[in-house]
Structure formats: structure tokens, C-alpha cells
Amino acid sequence: MIPERWLNGAILLGMLAVPLWAWADGAPFTITLATKVAILALAGVGLNIALGLGGLVSLGHAVFFGLGGYAMGILASHAQSFVPLAETPFLIEGTKSMPVIWLVAVVVSALAALMIGLLCLRTSGVYFIMITLAFGQMFYYFAISWPRYGGEDGLSIYVRNSFPGLNTLDPIQFFGICFAALAAALWLHGRLIASPFGLALNAARQSPARVETIGLSPFRLRLTAFVISGAITGLAGALFADLNRFVSPTMFSWQLSGEIIIFIILGGIGRLYGPVVGAALFVTLEHVLGGFSEFWQVYLGALLLAVVLVARGGLIGLVAGRERPHE
């Protein structure tokens, strides 16, 4: 077995090495694939805080991914058409600035997670799954029926948004931005795991009643985790929309929520780098097997089945063994 810390380092180096090699080799499409991996992994890291640490199986996390995407799409579309977003009670203009868009995406997603969490977290188990799914579908159908921002056809953004000092149209520089966001989210998740809050959340996952006896509210712990999780997933949505320069209601779809869960299961639920491995495997399979068959997800399903049955700790668990105590 390889120590998980070493494995995580190797995964991070691999995440950097592939696009750098592609950049040196003049293969921009590979860089775009690596960027997609980084963004989807970021969404997975977001969900992993709620699912892996808090035990919250959310089948509606695409809501936050979509909200982040639409935050970007709406702000950028107003900036490119020079039509203000609102004029009363005060003027709100669109923007093409990534930091501003990210801030809006994170705040909007966090607020949505707070509202949804306040309702959903009063339930547990299958009811929690169903209510989060219902919220996902509500947002999905709302986006479809919102013609102002493209409705079912979605919304195209002609030029990628800007980041001070960088050329975001250069694939390797945009990858660098997405990788930095992923690294920051992984760092945050790593800090959370060992923090008193993370330990209490983990304890609440194991036994809510015991957590109450030490003076902690499982509901508040879970709500906080859900909000952090939603905010990170929202940031991933904004980056994803910028990668494709396109947003559509499919960003809210329950299939996407399911895919984010699949990343985590493939890599290892609760394992820090689980979503990174899962997203990398997903994108690789999509690219490689998708060239042979449009039914490539059959193979993904078989792999998922094998991981669930044979490798309960996901692929990370298969290589690194059982999760070690956090020293």
C-alpha cells in the first residue's frame, strides 16, 4: 500500500504534468480536457464536504453548479450587450471580470444552499435525497422556462471572461486558474477535516444523538457544511461556464448531480483526493471510450459497480488502503 499522502502528491503532480506536457507538445485540446477535470473535481470537492464528511447524499448539487454557471452567464451576457442588469433602485451592470463573477457565483450559491439546507436538513436518508432532487428539478425547469436567458437553448458568451494579469483565452493560463481554484478547495477541505468543526461534523455523521450530548447541534453543523459545499460547487459552475463559454439548463440536471456523486464514489467517499481521481477517470473514459461508442457510460456503470463491490474506499482506498487517522 502507498501512503495516502504520497499518493495525493502524485495525483497533484500528475494533474500539473499532463497539461504542461500538452502545452510543450502543442496539444491545446488535452489542456482543455485537463481543465475540465480540474473544474469537475472542484465540484466534487464541494460535494465531498457534504457527502464524505457530513454523510449528506445530495442529489441536487447541480443546483449550485447551475447557479454558478448562470451567475457567470447572466453577468457576462449583460456586459457583452452593454445592457444593465438592473437600473432601479440602483444601476447594476454586467461584468466580464472573473473575480467579480466568482464572488457573485459563490455568494448566490451559498445563499441558495442556506435556503435549501434549512428545509432539506430537517429530513434525513431517502427523504433528504428526494427533497434535494426535487429542488434540482425545480431549478432545472425554471431555467428552461426563462426565455430572457436562453430558456432551453441556453446562453452563449462570445469571449471568455478576464482575469487581471492573465490571458484567459490561452488554454494553459485558464487551466492554471482552474487548478489554483481546485488546489485552494483541496487545501480548505484538508483543513476542515482536521478542524474542530470537521471533527464534529464527522462525529454527527456517526451519531447525531451523541453529538447533541456534547453541546453541538447536528443540524447547524450540517447546514454549515452544506453551505460551504454549495459555495464551492457554485464556483466550479462559474468556471465550467467560462470553459465552454455557454450555460444551459443541463447544468441544473439531476444527471449532473449524479455524475458528481459518481466522481466521489469512484475516487473514494470522504477521501481528500477522491473527487480528483474520479473526475479524471470520468473525463478520460468519456474521451477515450466515447470515441468508440456513444454508449460509453455502460462501461462507466460496470466500473462503478466493480468499485462499489470490490473497492469500498474507491480507487484511492484500493491503492492506499484504509483511511489513516489524521495525525
Partner 1 sequence: MSLLKARNLAVFYGASQALFDVSFDISEGEVLALMGRNGMGKSTTVKAICRMLPLHSGVLELAGQDLTRLPSHRAAQLGLGLVPEGRRIFPALTVEENLIAAARPGHWDFVRVSALFPRLAERRVQRAVTLSGGEQQMLVIGRALMTNPRLLLLDEATEGLAPIVRQEIWSAIATLRRETGLAILIVDKSLAELRAVADRAVILQRGRSVWSGVFDDLTEEMSRDYIGV
Min CB(294)–partner 1 separation in Å: 42
Beta bridge partners of 247: 155
Task: Decide if residue 327 touches partner 1 (CB under 8 A).
Answer: yes
| Binding residues with partner 1: total (CB under 8 A) | 19
Q: Which is nearer to partner 1, 294 or 327 (CB)?
A: 327
From CA 232, how far away is CA 61, in angstroms rounded? 11
Min CB(52)–partner 1 separation in Å: 12
Q: Which is nearer to partner 1, 153 or 220 (CB)?
A: 220
Residue numbers 174-203 binding partner 1 by CB under 8 A: 196, 199-200, 202-203
Q: Which is nearer to partner 1, 21 or 312 (CB)?
A: 312
From CA 9, how far away is CA 40, in angstroms rounded? 19
Three-state SS for the chain is CCCHHHHHHHHHHHHHHHHHHHHHHCCHHHHHHHHHHHHHHHHHHHHHHHHHHCCCCCCCCHHHHHHHHHHHHHHHHHHHHCCCCECCCCCECCCCEHHHHHHHHHHHHHHHHHHHHHHHCCCCHHHHHHHHHHHHHHHHHHHHCCHHHCHHHCEECCCCCEECCECCCCHHHHHHHHHHHHHHHHHHHHHHHHCHHHHHHHHHHHCHHHHHHCCCCHHHHHHHHHHHHHHHHHHHHHHHHHHHCEECHHHHCHHHHHHHHHHHHHHCCCCCCHHHHHHHHHHHHHHHHHCCCCCCHHHHHHHHHHHHHHCCCHHHHHHHCCCCCCC
Min CB(13)–partner 1 separation in Å: 27
Q: Which is nearer to partner 1, 178 or 216 (CB)?
A: 216
Residue numbers 201-230 binding partner 1 by CB under 8 A: 202-203, 206-207, 209-217
Residue numbers 96-155 binding partner 1 by CB under 8 A: none
Q: Which is nearer to partner 1, 44 or 270 (CB)?
A: 270
From CA 49, how far away is CA 185, in angstroms rounded? 10
Min CB(269)–partner 1 separation in Å: 12
Binding mask 270-289 for partner 1 (x = CB under 8 A): --------------------
Min CB(231)–partner 1 separation in Å: 23
Task: Decide if residue 293 touches partner 1 (CB under 8 A).
Answer: no
Q: Which is nearer to partner 1, 110 or 211 (CB)?
A: 211
Min CB(194)–partner 1 separation in Å: 8
Min CB(193)–partner 1 separation in Å: 10
Beta bridge partners of 246: 156
Min CB(197)–partner 1 separation in Å: 9
Q: Which is nearer to partner 1, 117 or 234 (CB)?
A: 117
Q: Which is nearer to partner 1, 193 or 228 (CB)?
A: 193
Q: Which residues bind partner 1 (CB under 8 A)?
A: 196, 199-200, 202-203, 206-207, 209-217, 325-327
